[in-house]
């Protein structure tokens, strides 16, 4: 049986009425667009019905072929069972041959229908996604009717051929002397179902039943030997089915065999066959059940072990596979079987994040057998998971250098190429990554990922044009892959980020130049009034430094306005590109009607099912499911691109406004330096900029409101809708304020006129009294409507904090302060990490302060102090002190800074700026207690002991030591470091502290003493030390070991230098020992090759040529990338030559 029957679940809805629904669509004139798409839907349904019917016909012909093969098997049964003689066998063979010829003719007729149908589907899809051509619909319709007529003729031929089978079975029953005749004795109901099955092509069950009756009869006639011969023939049939990919045929033959051969001599072999059939049919649960029934000896065979491992893996029972696999005696398995098992065990371990036995598993693999490449691929990924990119790269590169002949290893090699390409990318080696991705382009399975990888490499090296070319190629050749659209989204974001970063860079450069100009003017003013020559000289030097800074700033070219604008335009073009390429209903529901979308989905499913003939059912199913998943991803990305498009437009508007404001600021600065006669020109420029700002606001208001409002008509998820509504609300809010400002300006002018008229009213010259103009009211109806809609429709989205904040200001502007307070309180209480939280607390504090609710104001200001990086921090400190003063707490007001910092409480977000400043302040105070520093140090020690917090105490003493060092009071710094280390011996920062102590002590110590101290430092803080064992934080241990490595290296180099200076064996021996200690403890460090080389040099210089040669060779082998490799190789030769000379009694 062919696999086509398995397509049925995917197109059952299409095929349900395939033959019944055949309305004519030849004339669509006069139909509206809705009717036209309804008619085209009927045509798509009929095309699907055709494919389904072809599947039924092919399936039925495949079933016939299996019955024919079973009939042929009867010829192979022992003559003792069949009773065939030469004449009867020849007669039987001719009857089967006649049926086979008719069958082959029908197969050819069905195959001839497939190609035109596939072409019709492809053309139909093109017209559904593009512009429909009415005449082409008519052609497809007529061809469809002709094919359906042909199918009915083929079906009639098949039914006729089944009748021939009945004759053959009747003749066979007679020849085999079967008791009775082989006929169905059925009532009306069974006859009805028989007809129904005939129409559906499912009457094969009846013939399998007849066949099994015949075989059962023959089985019962025979003795054990004859039955074994039958068994061999029947099981060979199943094996042939499995070999040719006819799993369903094998499964249909299996029940009869299992029912017939129940004897103990057959049961084990039956179970083995059953395992194979169930495995081929993807029935992995049954595989595991059957394996549990077979003897241990058979269960341990390579074949069964592999089936069990693969079944566990396919069922995702990774834990069971991992535990069972690690308990196996892998050495009992041979060659590729062992490798395959090891690979599956490794894969399950990687999925479980269990890797304790991976290296051990790899060591048991068979290097020259199939699946060894799979193992290396898994091993490389194991190192990637560990973060050991270097080893992973080495494994992959080594795997690619290996020779292989097995087909499975070719697939693994392709995966290794892909993984290595990604590894190179992650490690920043984009050129090597590009080379490998190019190798993979021609592999259909890796095309999408390879092109995607190329695009990313080009993006990283800054070649955006080539990156976009790659993505266009990916979209063109693989439109249903989400990779291209993902990368295009990244390009959009990069352009938007580039625009923003370049603009911020321009602002920074401009501000820095202005700051330098202001500082230079300040110094010039000082110079003009200062008569001290030394001061004037210093001022001159400062001006020269400022000029140098300005020159450096000017070298940093500011990005032109047109280029920044182009970044926004590029982002918009990419959004248009996404819409253009993914403009069909498959990816964008908004462009197609629901009916058209449904048609496209059906056609995509049909075309994927068509391809299953080449790849098998499971491949087609996998492709279909992946396609559905990919299309879903692309739809999300298309929606994201549209949202980003809006974001880009909003960003561009903000930038244009900021640019105009920046120009205004520049003109204002310029106005302060120009002569009076230039002021008119300055005023004209300011007027021009103000006009440009107004025009930009009007233009962008129309663009943004139209774009955002249009998006809100689409079906958006809550996050996207909230984003659009929020920004639309912000646009409305600014526009409402501008309108109010304009109305208020008109009101002020009218009020001036009114006041002037009222002053003149006393002269009785007015014929009637003027009306006082009505003051405009600021109304935020439109903006508040959007904000409220977010809170009502979108729930607690990420922007909720910003919405409450904006609503608060809307209420504030309208004088509804209780509502403003309520929304600010929500921001302050519910969203402590919001960027608006500090200002919300500040707003609450100011309100409470103005209304004399000082306790509540105090709490609000204190809450602002939790955000020391906030722009409101300084003002909150000021208002806090003022609040404490009003509360009659002058001492607290004066000491508020220190009182509010709890040094014993750790901030969840790390040490705050306030805390750092407090520790600095305390330490500086102690350092300035007396001139010598003795009393200050003693007071500090007493303070930290009373303080009780060992972490903060250590920080204070550490900062005090640093201050002493910076002041040049090295003796006090040394004493402070020593007391700190003695007081807190297990402090996490002890290595850093003692390292600083060594640096200070080294100033007054000999080289020998310093070297001893550095070696002692290594012994004290290396990763194996007692101090390290007391630490629980791995990062702390690592830092200590890193400093130990540095100190040991410095000691080794210093010892070597001393040895060279003094040229005595004791110093050379000490240097050698130190180098050896370093090599033993830090063999992978950057300095290891240098130390190893220096050790060899010492041995050479002391005449130990044998050891020197060995060490030189070790350097060249152990450090292939070292700069010492070449010299070491040469010196090894020289040392060997000197050794020979020495042995011959010569001297160097």
DSSP-derived 3-state class of residue 379? helix
**At 312, is the pLDDT very low, low, confident or very high (cuts 50, 70, 90)?**
very high
pLDDT at 359 over 70: yes
Structure confidence at residue 590 (pLDDT)? 39
Structure confidence at residue 721 (pLDDT)? 85
pLDDT at 625 over 70: no
Of residues 185 and 147, more confidently modeled: 147
* Residue pLDDT, tens place only, 609-620: 555 444 444 444
Structure confidence at residue 244 (pLDDT)? 85
What is the arithmetic mean of pLDDT over 554-575?
86
Is 997 exposed, middle or buried (CB count within 10 Å of its CB: 0-12, 13-18, 19+)? buried
Percent of the chain with pLDDT over 70: 82
Structure confidence at residue 810 (pLDDT)? 94
Structure confidence at residue 905 (pLDDT)? 43
Nearest to 144 by CA among 59, 47, 260: 47
Structure confidence at residue 883 (pLDDT)? 80
pLDDT at 342 over 70: yes
Q: Which of 302-311, 553-562, 864-873, 917-926 has the weakest average pLDDT?
A: 917-926
Structure confidence at residue 859 (pLDDT)? 93
* Residue pLDDT, tens place only, 1071-1109: 888 888 888 888 888 888 888 888 888 888 888 888 888
Of residues 920 and 663, more confidently modeled: 663
pLDDT at 5 over 90: no
> Which pTM does this prediction carry?
0.51
pLDDT at 9 over 50: no
Most confident of 642-646, 662-666, 766-770, 897-901: 662-666
* Residue pLDDT, tens place only, 385-443: 888 888 888 988 888 888 777 778 888 888 888 888 888 888 888 999 999 999 888 88
| Cα–Cα distance measured from residue 280 to residue 288, given in angstroms and rounded to the nearest whole number | 13
Residue 933, Ramachandran bin (φ over 0: left; ψ between -120 and 50: alpha; else beta): left
| Cα–Cα distance measured from residue 653 to residue 38, given in angstroms and rounded to the nearest whole number | 45
Structure confidence at residue 825 (pLDDT)? 95
pLDDT at 508 over 70: yes
Neighbours of 645 (CB within 10 A): 20
**Cα Dmax for the chain:** 145
The two counts, helices (H) then strands (E), for the chain are 49, 0
* Residue pLDDT, tens place only, 829-862: 999 999 999 999 999 999 999 999 999 999 999 8
* Residue pLDDT, tens place only, 514-551: 888 888 888 887 787 676 788 888 888 888 998 898 88
* Residue pLDDT, tens place only, 237-282: 889 988 888 888 888 888 988 899 888 888 889 989 999 998 888 8
Structure confidence at residue 662 (pLDDT)? 87
Nearest to 333 by CA among 349, 344, 317: 344
pLDDT at 18 over 80: no
Percent of the chain with pLDDT over 90: 11
**At 1121, is the pLDDT very low, low, confident or very high (cuts 50, 70, 90)?**
confident
What is the arithmetic mean of pLDDT over 858-871?
88
**At 131, is the pLDDT very low, low, confident or very high (cuts 50, 70, 90)?**
low
Give me the count of residues in the chain.
1148
| Cα–Cα distance measured from residue 998 to residue 1, given in angstroms and rounded to the nearest whole number | 84
CA atoms in the 13 A half-sphere facing the CB of 466: 13
Residues 6+ apart with CB under 8 A from 794: 718, 719, 721, 722, 725
Structure confidence at residue 909 (pLDDT)? 38
Neighbours of 1044 (CB within 10 A): 27
* Residue pLDDT, tens place only, 906-915: 333 334 444 5
Confirm if 33 and 591 have CB atoms less than 8 A apart: no
Question: What average pLDDT is seen over the chain?
Answer: 79
What is the arithmetic mean of pLDDT over 565-587?
72
pLDDT at 872 over 80: yes
| Cα–Cα distance measured from residue 719 to residue 717, given in angstroms and rounded to the nearest whole number | 6
**At 27, is the pLDDT very low, low, confident or very high (cuts 50, 70, 90)?**
very low
Confirm if 307 and 279 have CB atoms less than 8 A apart: yes
Annotate 526-574 with three-state secondary structure: HHHHCCCHHHHHHHHHHHHHHHHHHHHHHHCCCCCHHHHHHHHHHHHHH
**At 903, is the pLDDT very low, low, confident or very high (cuts 50, 70, 90)?**
very low
| Cα–Cα distance measured from residue 251 to residue 3, given in angstroms and rounded to the nearest whole number | 13
Structure confidence at residue 918 (pLDDT)? 52
| Cα–Cα distance measured from residue 102 to residue 165, given in angstroms and rounded to the nearest whole number | 12
| Cα–Cα distance measured from residue 141 to residue 36, given in angstroms and rounded to the nearest whole number | 14
Quick one: which H or E segment has residue 658? helix 612-671
Structure confidence at residue 411 (pLDDT)? 84
Q: Which of 71-75, 323-327, 1026-1030 has the weakest average pLDDT?
A: 1026-1030
Structure confidence at residue 11 (pLDDT)? 26
DSSP-derived 3-state class of residue 868? coil
**At 821, is the pLDDT very low, low, confident or very high (cuts 50, 70, 90)?**
very high
Structure confidence at residue 865 (pLDDT)? 85
Confirm if 325 and 341 have CB atoms less than 8 A apart: yes
Neighbours of 185 (CB within 10 A): 5
Within 968-1087, residue ranges assigned H as helices are 970-983, 990-1001, 1007-1021, 1026-1029, 1034-1062, 1065-1081
**At 19, is the pLDDT very low, low, confident or very high (cuts 50, 70, 90)?**
very low
Instruction: Enter the DSSP assignment of 4.
Output: G
* Residue pLDDT, tens place only, 1031-1059: 877 778 888 889 989 988 888 888 888 88
Q: Per residue in 445-475, is it b (16+ CB within 10 Å) or e — as a string?
A: ebbbbbbbbbbbbbbeeeebebbbebbbbbb
What is the arithmetic mean of pLDDT over 203-212?
85
Structure confidence at residue 186 (pLDDT)? 44
Structure confidence at residue 878 (pLDDT)? 65
Structure confidence at residue 963 (pLDDT)? 86
What is the arithmetic mean of pLDDT over 989-1008?
86
């Amino acid at each position: 049986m062919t696999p086509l029957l398995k397509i049925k679940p995917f197109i059952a809805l299409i095929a349900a009425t395939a033959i019944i629904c055949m309305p004519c669509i030849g004339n669509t004139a006069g139909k509206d667009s809705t009717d036209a798409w309804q008619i085209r839907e009927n045509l798509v349904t009929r095309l699907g019905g055709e494919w389904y019917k072809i599947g039924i016909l092919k399936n039925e012909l495949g079933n016939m072929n299996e019955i024919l093969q079973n009939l042929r098997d009867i010829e192979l049964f022992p003559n003792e069972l069949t009773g065939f003689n030469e004449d009867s066998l020849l007669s039987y063979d001719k009857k089967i041959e006649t049926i086979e010829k008719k069958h082959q003719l029908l197969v050819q007729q069905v195959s001839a229908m497939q190609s035109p149908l596939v072409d019709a589907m492809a053309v139909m899809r093109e017209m559904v996604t593009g512009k429909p051509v009415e005449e082409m619909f008519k052609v497809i319709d007529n061809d469809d009717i002709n094919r359906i007529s042909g199918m009915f003729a083929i079906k009639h031929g098949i039914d006729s051929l089944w009748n021939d089978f009945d004759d053959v079975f009747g003749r066979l029953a007679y020849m085999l002397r079967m008791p009775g005749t082989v006929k169905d004795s059925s009532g009306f109901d069974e006859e009805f179902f028989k007809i129904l099955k005939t129409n559906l092509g499912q009457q094969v069950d009846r013939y399998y039943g007849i066949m099994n009756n015949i075989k059962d009869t023959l089985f019962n006639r025979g003795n054990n030997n004859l039955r074994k011969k039958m068994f061999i023939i029947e099981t060979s049939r199943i094996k042939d089915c499995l070999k040719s990919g006819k799993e369903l045929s094998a499964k249909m033959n299996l029940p009869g065999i299992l029912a017939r051969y129940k004897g103990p001599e057959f049961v084990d072999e039956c179970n083995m066959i059953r395992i194979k059939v169930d495995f081929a049919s993807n029935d992995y649960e049954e595989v595991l059940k059957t394996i549990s029934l077979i003897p241990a000896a058979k269960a341990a065979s390579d074949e069964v072990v592999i089936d069990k491992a693969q079944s566990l893996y396919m069922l995702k029972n990774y834990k069971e596979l991992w535990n069972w696999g690690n308990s196996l005696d892998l050495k009992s398995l041979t060659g590729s079987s062992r490798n395959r098992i090891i690979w599956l065990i490794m894969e399950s371990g990687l999925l479980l994040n269990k890797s304790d036995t991976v290296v051990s598993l790899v060591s048991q693999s068979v290097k020259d057998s199939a699946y060894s490449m799979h193992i290396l691929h898994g091993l490389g990924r194991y190192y990637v998971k560990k973060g050991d990119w270097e080893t992973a790269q080495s494994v992959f590169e080594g795997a690619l250098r290996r020779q292989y002949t097995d087909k499975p290893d070719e697939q693994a090699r392709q995966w290794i190429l892909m993984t290595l390409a990604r590894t190179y990318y992650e490690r920043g080696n984009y050129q090597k990554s590009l080379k490998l991705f190019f190798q993979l382009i021609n592999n259909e399975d890796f095309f999408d990922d390879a092109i995607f990888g190329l695009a990313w490499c080009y993006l990283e090296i800054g070649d955006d044009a080539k990156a976009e070319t790659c993505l266009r190629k990916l979209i063109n050749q693989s439109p249903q892959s989400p990779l291209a659209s993902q990368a295009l989204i990244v390009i959009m974001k990069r352009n938007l980020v580039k625009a923003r970063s370049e603009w911020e860079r321009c602002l920074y450069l401009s501000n820095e130049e202005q700051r330098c100009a202001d500082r230079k003017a300040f110094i010039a003013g000082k110079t003009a009034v200062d008569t001290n020559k030394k001061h004037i000289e210093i001022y001159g030097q400062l001006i020269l430094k400022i000029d140098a800074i300005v020159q450096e700033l000017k070298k940093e070219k500011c990005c032109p306005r047109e280029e920044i604008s182009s970044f926004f335009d590029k982002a918009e073009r990419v959004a248009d590109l996404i819409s253009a390429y993914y403009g069909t209903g498959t990816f964008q529901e908004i462009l197609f009607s629901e009916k058209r979308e449904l048609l496209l989905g059906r056609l995509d499913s049909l075309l994927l099912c068509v391809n299953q003939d080449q790849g098998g059912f499971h491949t087609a199913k996998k492709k279909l499911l992946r396609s559905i998943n990919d299309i879903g991803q692309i739809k999300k990305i298309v929606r994201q691109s549209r949202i980003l498009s809006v974001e880009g437009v909003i960003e561009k508007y903000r930038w244009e406004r900021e640019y105009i404001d920046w120009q205004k600021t520049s003109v204002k600065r310029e106005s302060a330096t120009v002569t009076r006669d230039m002021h008119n020109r300055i005023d004209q420029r300011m007027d021009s900029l103000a006009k440009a700002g107004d025009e930009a606001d009007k233009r962008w208001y129309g663009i943004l409101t139209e774009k955002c409002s249009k998006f809100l008509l689409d079906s958006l998820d809550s996050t996207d809708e909230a984003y659009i509504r929020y920004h639309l609300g912000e646009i409305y809010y600014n526009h409402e304020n501008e309108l109010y400002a304009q109305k208020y300006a008109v009101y002020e002018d009218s009020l001036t006129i009114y006041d002037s008229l009222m002053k003149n009213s006393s002269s009785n010259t007015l014929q009637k009294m003027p009306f006082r103009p009505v003051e405009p009211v600021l109304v935020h109806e439109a903006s508040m409507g959007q904000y409220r809609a977010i809170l009502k429709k979108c729930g607690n989205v990420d922007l909720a904090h910003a919405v409450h904040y904006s609503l608060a200001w809307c209420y504030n502007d309208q004088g509804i302060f209780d509502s403003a307070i309520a929304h600010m309180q929500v921001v302050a209480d519910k969203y402590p990490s919001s960027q608006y939280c500090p200002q919300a607390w500040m707003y609450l504090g100011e309100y409470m302060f103005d209304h004399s609710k000082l306790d509540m104001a105090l709490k609000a200001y204190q809450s602002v102090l939790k955000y020391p990086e906030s722009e409101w921090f300084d003002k909150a400190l000021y208002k806090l002190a003022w609040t404490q003063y009003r509360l009659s707490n002058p001492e607290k007001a004066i000491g508020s800074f220190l009182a509010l910092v709890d040094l014993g409480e750790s901030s969840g977000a790390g040490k705050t700026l306030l805390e750092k400043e407090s520790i600095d302040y305390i330490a500086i105070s102690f350092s300035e207690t007396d001139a010598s520093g003795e009393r200050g140090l003693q007071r500090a020690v007493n303070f930290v002991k009373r303080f009780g917090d060992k972490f903060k105490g250590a920080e204070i003493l550490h900062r005090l030591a640093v201050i002493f060092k910076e002041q040049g009071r090295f003796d006090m710094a040394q004493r402070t470091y020593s007391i700190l280390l003695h007081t807190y011996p297990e402090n996490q920062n002890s290595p850093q502290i003692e390292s600083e102590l060594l640096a200070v002590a080294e100033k007054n110590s000999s080289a020998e003493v310093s070297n001893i101290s550095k070696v002692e430092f290594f012994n004290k803080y290396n990763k194996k030390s007692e101090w390290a064992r007391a630490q629980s934080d791995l990062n702390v241990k690592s830092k200590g070991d890193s400093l130990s490595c540095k100190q040991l290296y410095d000691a080794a180099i210093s010892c070597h230098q001393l040895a060279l200076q003094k040229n005595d064996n004791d110093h050379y021996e000490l240097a050698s020992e130190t180098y050896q200690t370093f090599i033993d403890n830090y063999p992978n460090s950057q300095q290891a090759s240098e130390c190893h080389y220096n050790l060899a040099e010492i041995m050479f210089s002391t005449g130990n040529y044998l050891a020197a040669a060995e060490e030189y060779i070790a350097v060249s082998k152990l450090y292939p990338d070292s700069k010492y490799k070449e010299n070491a190789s040469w010196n090894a030769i020289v040392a060997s030559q000197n050794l020979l000379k020495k042995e011959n009694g010569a001297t160097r």
